[in-house]
Amino acid sequence: MSHHVHAPSPVPAKRRMLRYTMVLTSAAFVASGIASLATPASAAAVPRAPAAVKTDALPCPSGYVWRDSYDGDALCVTPAERDRVHAQNPNRQPGGGAYGPSTCKPGFVWRDSYDGDTLCVTPAERDRVHAQNPNRQPGGGAYGPSTCKPGYVWREKWVGDTLCVTPAERDRVKGQGRLIDNGPDLIGIPGR
């Protein structure tokens, strides 16, 4: 029995050099800053400092302040926007404290319902939230406060969903379709 194995034909040296030259030229063009993508006017309206770089060397432009909604938040916003964000967490210490801008007022603790959850709540509220996820490892673990007990995995119904369930439950949930609210329309998304 005869088999024909397809071997790609060699690319002529001239074409290979042309491809290489195009890649280098494109990289140099982009690196030089000559090429820039068009930015809508709405995106250019709010000046921003580079993400997670919060130093006195890179202050916000005049009339803007750091949002400080979490430790390291260097997004430049108007003072009114910062106040609106801070009002969503009224039990945090004004001006921050030992744990950064998310330090809670005395008598309040971080909710810790997921990694990075620094909403300030009463200890009873945090206990209630933790009780909704009874299969998480008490005291946290290798994956932070949302670490699951052995034999359990994160449900992952959406990005950041760390409810601890059995692997079978996670597979069942992932197979379900879900809806995305797109304003007046609901868009059906098949399960993954």
Using 50, 70 and 90 to split pLDDT, how confident is the model at 46?
very low
Report pLDDT digits (tens) over 52-81.
Answer: 445 555 678 889 887 776 656 678 888 888
The predicted pLDDT at position 42 comes to 44
Q: How many CA atoms lie within 13 A of 34 on its CB side?
A: 6
* Cβ partners under 8 Å of residue 104, min gap 6: 91, 92, 93, 110, 120
Give yes or no for residue 156 having a pLDDT over 70.
yes
CA–CA distance, 92 with 191 (Å, rounded to integer): 38
Report pLDDT digits (tens) over 122-151.
Answer: 899 888 877 778 888 888 888 888 899 999
Give yes or no for residue 36 having a pLDDT over 90.
no
CB 35 within 8 A of CB 58: no
Portion of the chain with pLDDT greater than 70, in percent: 56
The predicted pLDDT at position 26 comes to 61
**The pairing of beta strand 153-154 with beta strand 178-182:** unpaired
CA–CA distance, 140 with 130 (Å, rounded to integer): 11
Helix (H, G, I), strand (E, B) or coil at 15: helix
**pTM tops 0.75:** no
Report pLDDT digits (tens) over 90-124.
Answer: 788 877 888 887 888 999 998 877 667 788 888 99
The predicted pLDDT at position 106 comes to 92
Max Cα distance, the chain (Å): 83
CB 180 within 8 A of CB 189: yes
Give yes or no for residue 32 having a pLDDT over 70.
no
